[in-house]
Amino acid sequence: MRSLKLIFVLLIAALSTASGIILNNRIINGDCALQGQFPYVVSITENDRHFCGGFIYNSRWVVTAASCVEGKLGINASLNVVVGQLNAVILDEFEQKMAVDTIILYPQYDSAIKLNDIALIRVTAEIQFDYVNVDFILYEEVNYRNYSLVMGWGAFFEGGVESVNLRYGAVTSILMDASTKCGSFPITEFNYTTTICAGATITSPYPAASPCQYDEGSPLVQDFVDPDTLKAIPVAVGIFSKNKMCTYTSIDGVGIYTRLSAYDSWLLYTAGLYTLNNRIIQGGLATQGQFPYVASVTENGRHFCGGFIYSSRYVVTAASCVEGKPINVLNVVVGQLSTITPDVNEQTMVVYTVTVHPEYDNTTKMNDIALIRLTAEIQFDYVNVDFILYQEANIKNSLVMGWGATFEGGYESVNLRFGAVLPQALNVSQKCGSFPDIEFNLTTTICAGPTITSPYPGGSPCQYDEGSPLVQDFEDPNTLQGIPVAVGIFSKNKMCTYGADGVGIYTRLSTFDSWLRNTAGQQPVHPASAKEYLRILTPAVNKLRS
């Protein structure tokens, strides 16, 4: 089979060399990949012949399109996943051929219109990473500001056979809303929430391309650029699902990609955490009304820190977020879920004053708390936009949420995300993660690290999560009902990771009780259930404040 395939492909290679890049509507452009350029891409083979792409999610799981593996569940012995491969006919140095253990289609996959076109493949052994030629890749929300690459061993013209060499090319995500069409697809086949529409681009340094037959399942990848180091980190944003034809010059080449961020919790609960190394924050996407008190602090319209609503006029954030910043570049956005689409309940507030705690130390980040006073009243509906009371921290699972990066050095996130952490370092003789003693004070800060003992995915806050609240459920001992209360503000961690460096330091709100009340006044009473709140919280709060 392999030699037969070689002949086919040599023929095509000769043809394409002779004619160069033919610009007509059947050719996929692009270029050959180099060793280590796409260490996360896999080839899915049936009887040793490539038929679909995929990407490495962690050492046991590979993500592909449901349309690739639908109907192959019963004959999986003939299926393999090949990682570390460049050339499909010769054995590459880093190639590992993995046997398939389980195939799981997304339960709502619709094979007629190819929506929810995503599947997970579990391999029977651990993929061996060298992190250069074989690596996993994180996934993220798509960034409409930049181009993406798509790569695979697909055909390079409509109706061709699979390619010997791994090829890639650039496409750009076409920003659309639910009412716009994607290329020549009928409206029923494109869902803005669950898919990405992308076509060939010429605004990238890479050759424009269109994926083709046997590229289904291949990842759509973007570079996330760390604004400080300017280092780019590739992240997967989609999976190639379908296009009408392999062309990059006509509307029929516009492709539909499964939007990975829409399958965040399914991926997490089916395939577990990402491979644990020191680059990751886990967590999940927030739903409407889940965290009505969280605020995004923006600088020139761009999210850079979190905060929480203290009252209709005040928002609490970290001092490190706002110290030295001119007020006129700052705004506070409340009632927001997505930073790119205007949410129904979103209100953008103008900043009147910023008060940094007088004892804030910008070297050790001690007393890292600030109050932002707004020029107008936040309008509460108490469901999507609400304030939150604060309390002394308990030793129990807590949530932290924000629009921070989802990995060390990443950009801010489009969607509000959250994750669970657990307070640790509970007595003065214990250290907090890898922080020196001078940077952790048990009286004024809380030390908390990722947890797996919560019903929520464990998480680690990351860049641009500073100022976000640490929230616990205060349980009514009578009704056992939980009321969320803020107990801290994320101040710092060493890295966004699950390891010791991911342990974070949070400003302990209860310590700053009198400063908060003297500066911003009392918190309001919750009218929707004022009696409930008072009955449950007053004794605890009074005890705390006496």
Residues that bind ligand NAG (CB under 6 A): 73-74, 76-77, 102-103, 145-146, 178, 191, 193-194, 223, 225, 232, 323-324, 362, 427, 429-430, 441, 443-444
Type of residue numbered 461: P
- The nearest distance, CB 13 to ligand NAG, in angstroms, is 29
Name all contacts of 518-526 with Cβ < 8 Å and 24+ positions apart.
519/355, 519/371, 520/310, 520/311, 520/313, 520/314, 520/371, 520/373, 521/311, 521/314, 522/311, 523/310, 523/311, 523/387, 523/389, 523/390, 524/311, 524/312, 524/387, 526/382, 526/386, 526/387
* Closest by Cα among 278, 320, 274, 291 to 503: 278
**DSSP character at residue 348:** E
CA distance 119 to 121: 7
Which CB, 20 or 107, lies closer to ligand NAG?
107
Which CB, 5 or 431, lies closer to ligand NAG?
431
CB hemisphere CA count around 205 (13 angstroms) = 2
- The nearest distance, CB 325 to ligand NAG, in angstroms, is 9
CA distance 302 to 74: 49
- The nearest distance, CB 513 to ligand NAG, in angstroms, is 13
Type of residue numbered 150: V
Which CB, 323 or 475, lies closer to ligand NAG?
323
Which CB, 309 or 405, lies closer to ligand NAG?
405
Region of 425 (left: φ > 0; alpha: ψ -120 to 50; beta: rest) is: left
- The nearest distance, CB 354 to ligand NAG, in angstroms, is 12
- The nearest distance, CB 341 to ligand NAG, in angstroms, is 14
- The nearest distance, CB 199 to ligand NAG, in angstroms, is 17
Which CB, 116 or 336, lies closer to ligand NAG?
116
Task: Write out the two tokens for 311.
Answer: 């009252």
- The nearest distance, CB 225 to ligand NAG, in angstroms, is 5
Task: Write out the two tokens for 73.
Answer: 């569940």
Which CB, 69 or 349, lies closer to ligand NAG?
69
Taking residue 229's Cβ as centre, other Cβ atoms within 10 Å add up to: 9
In three state form, how does the secondary structure of 169-236 look?
EEEEECCCCCCCCCCCCCHHHCCCCCEEEEEECCCCCCCECCCCCCCCCCEEEEEEECCCCCCEEEEE
- The nearest distance, CB 191 to ligand NAG, in angstroms, is 4
Which CB, 188 or 538, lies closer to ligand NAG?
188
Which CB, 416 or 471, lies closer to ligand NAG?
416
Which CB, 101 or 381, lies closer to ligand NAG?
101
Region of 111 (left: φ > 0; alpha: ψ -120 to 50; beta: rest) is: alpha
The answer to whether residues 59 and 116 touch, using CB atoms and an 8 Å cutoff, is no
- The nearest distance, CB 379 to ligand NAG, in angstroms, is 27
Which CB, 103 or 127, lies closer to ligand NAG?
103
Q: Point out which residues pair with 329 in neighbouring strands.
A: none
- The nearest distance, CB 506 to ligand NAG, in angstroms, is 14
